[in-house]
Chain A
Amino acid sequence: MSMSQQTPRENSQLVAPPDSAAPGGVRAGQAGRSLWGDARRRLLRDRSSRLCLLVITFYALLALGGGVYDLLAEHDVAGIPTFGQTADFDQAYQPPSWSLRNLLGTDWSGKSVLAKTILGAKVSLTVGFMANVIAVPLGLILGAIAGYYGKFIDDVIVWLYSTLASIPGIILLIAMKYAFKGVKVLGLDLTGIHGLYIALGIISWVGTCRLVRAEVMKIRELDYVLAARATGQNSLLILLKHVLPNVMHIAVINFSLGFVGAVASEVTLSYLGLGVAVGTPSWGTMINSARMDLFAGRWWELTSAVGAMFFLVLALNIFGDRLRDALDPRLRTA
Chain B
Amino acid sequence: MASRRGVGLGAFANRTQATQSYATHGANLRSTHTSSLQTQLSVFQSLLHTFALEHSSTIKSNPTFRAEFARMCNVIGVDPLAASNVKGKNGRKGPGDSTSFWTQIMGGDMNDFYFEVAVRVVELCRETRSENGGLLGVEECRKRVGKGKAIGSGLEVTDDDVLRAVKSLEPLGSGFSIILVGNKQYIRSIPKELNTDQSTVLEAIQVLGYVTVSMLQINLNWEKARAQTVIDDLLADGLVWVDLQCPEKEYWSPQNLLGDGDEG
Do A and B actually bind? no
Instruction: Point out residues on A near B: beta carbons under 8 Å.
Output: none
Instruction: Point out residues on B near A: beta carbons under 8 Å.
Output: none
